[in-house]
Structure 1
Amino acid sequence: MAFIISRSSRSFLTSALNYSPKLLSLNHIRYASNNHRPMMLMDLPRIVYPNLFYTIRNFFSRIIINGYFDSTFAIKPFSDGARQALTIVSRLIGNNQFDDLSGLVTQQKNYENLTSEQKQKIPVDESEIVFSYPYLIGMIMDEQTNSRLVEITIIFHILKDRNAYHEEMIHAKGDSITNWTAAMKKMRDNIVVCNYKFLRDMSKNAKDDSWIISGLNHWSPSEYEQQ
């Protein structure tokens, strides 16, 4: 299943996702000494923060897209749609609804290897998104076929049950440093980073102007810090 952003409606629809088996490999996942398997859905680079060089490069990429590929493209409506896609896809994965996600057999195996606690962190509500940023706008151009593909990688920072942490931090201020530190650690352990890649064919004769998810990953930074 894929989630497609339509240029006309800016809403996400359902279709077929095509994932590369290469991206689904578990060969490069590191494990902690206690055999704990870190939370990871796909073997993609773990991206946490914006990159200044890419931010500058993205500015010029957007100029090229608007000037030569799609004059109506704007990053704000795209980002809004990407947030919708994150919430819809993550809920399906978190609910183990792989019948609605055709072609994700390998990813289902990855999901089944997660602990129950990790699985609970997969579904994302839009209110839990505390940060999102277009990390990289990449363009793939083939002069022989005259094809123009655009792939945008988005970073999402998720804080599960953020309102509960807000109350906990307020009460912890009046307590001992130990309680405050424990509250901070609990909050840190429940931060999830999501990296989503969106792909669109912007060739002149492209029949579909929709965005599809070409890769995704949910992972917990605290699990890798402990390794």
Structure 2
Amino acid sequence: MIIPRMMAGQNVMWPALLKGIKNWIQANMIVRPNLDPKFRLSKFSLGARQAFLTVSERIADGKVDSLQGLVTKEVLDSVKKATSSLSMADHELFRRQDSDIYLCFPYELGIIFEDNDPLKRWVEVMMVFHTLQGFEALQKDNVSVTDIQKKPIANKFLFANFKFSRNYSKGVKLEDSDWTINYINYFTPEGDFEEEKKKHEASSPPSSSSSST
């Protein structure tokens, strides 16, 4: 199944070594000493994991409006638009349990400053989630990698990119600010393949045909 793209952006699948090093430096040498003494990237990732499960479940239940407060208005509108034409069966693809997550990691941590006001700053973290419905049961049954790549199991994969943002501006108390999801995109292996195919076709020069008389 190909899920309609919710928000513009490139699908992120795998960690990047240099970004991982930069994330550690930002988290431990900038965010924690200067902005939030309790910040731990590992602890944040656990909270992000739970947020992913909550958002996914509400989409599966067709309760997108209940995401208000967890996500920005732009995200809410985008999710509504992308899921409005999906059938009930399609919605079930979003239903995930914690045991379905087989890979979850922070891809990029960034600190954003406002050009006109250096006292205004936000921390933003991009999280990547790899999931497979029934992953725990498949492990117990020792299902081979070859079988996992076949249908119908292959149709149960779901990947997601979530961005979380928190206001750490000067004068804003930590207890008055919380993490908000400002970017969401889900995709499947089939959808990612189709997107890469379109990019390749768009970047390829048009083929020229020659004729002889």
TM-score (normalizing by structure 1)? 0.71
Does residue 47 of structure 2 align to residue 81 of structure 1?
Answer: yes
* Residues 66-75 or 180-189, more deviating: 180-189
Matches within 5 A, 1:84-99: 84-99=50-65
Larger mean CA deviation between 155-164 and 184-193 belongs to 184-193
Per the alignment, residue 49 of structure 1 pairs with 14
Residue 191 (structure 2) pairs with residue 223 (structure 1): yes
User: Cα gap change, 1:138/1:183 in structure 2, threshold over 3 Å: closer, same or farther?
Assistant: closer
Q: Match for 2:182: what amino acid?
A: S
Residue type at the aligned position of 2:177: D
SS of the counterpart of 1:225?
helix
| 1:138 alignment partner in structure 2 | 110
| Percent of residue pairs identical | 28
User: Residues 68 and 143 (structure 1 numbering): CA distance in 2 closer, same or farther, change over 3 Å?
Assistant: farther
Gaps of 5+ in 1: 1-35, 174-179
Q: Distance in 2 between matches of 1:151 and 1:61?
A: 11
For residues 108-166 of structure 1, the C-alpha deviation after alignment (integer angstroms, 9 at most, x for no partner) is 12102335554211122111111110100011123642111100001111111113433
**Cα pair 1:192 1:220 within 8 Å, conserved:** yes
Q: 2:47 & 2:21 partners in 1: Cα distance?
A: 23
Going from structure 1 to structure 2, the CA distance change for 1:183 and 1:215 (only over 3 Å counts) comes to closer
Superposed, 1:159-198 pairs within 5 Å as 159-166=132-139, 169-170=142-143, 181-186=146-151, 187-198=153-164
Does structure 2 retain, via aligned residues, the 8 Å contact 1:39–1:118? no
Counterpart CA distance in 1 for 2:2 and 2:154 is 18
Instruction: Confirm or deny that 1:107 pairs with 2:72.
Output: no
Distance in structure 1 (CA, Å) of the matches to 2:97 and 2:190 = 21
**Cα pair 1:149 1:201 within 8 Å, conserved:** yes
RMSD: 2.4
CA distance in 1, matches of 2:64, 2:88: 17
- SS of 2:31's equivalent? helix
1:126 paired to 2:98: yes
Letter paired with 1:121: L
Q: How does 1:3-18 map to 2 (within 5 A)?
A: none
Deviation at 1:220? 0.4
1:185 partner amino acid = K
The aligned counterpart of 2:203 is none
Judge conservation of contact 1:128–1:159 (CA < 8 Å) in 2.
yes
Gaps of 5+ in 2: 198-213
More divergent stretch after superposition (89-98 vs 36-45) = 36-45
1:213 to partner: Cα distance: 0.8
Once the two structures are superposed, residues 183-224 of structure 1 have per-residue CA deviations (whole angstroms, 9 ceiling, x without a partner) of: 432333322111111000112211423111111111102333
Q: 1:61 aligns with which of 16, 21, 26?
A: 26
Structure 1 contact 79–134 (Cα < 8 Å) conserved: yes
SS in structure 2 at match of 1:185: coil
Structure ID, larger Rg = 2
Structure 1 contact 40–217 (Cα < 8 Å) conserved:
yes
Taking the aligned partners of 2:63 and 2:136, their CA distance within structure 1 comes to: 28
2:149 aligned counterpart, secondary structure: helix
- Counterpart amino acid of residue 211 in structure 1: W
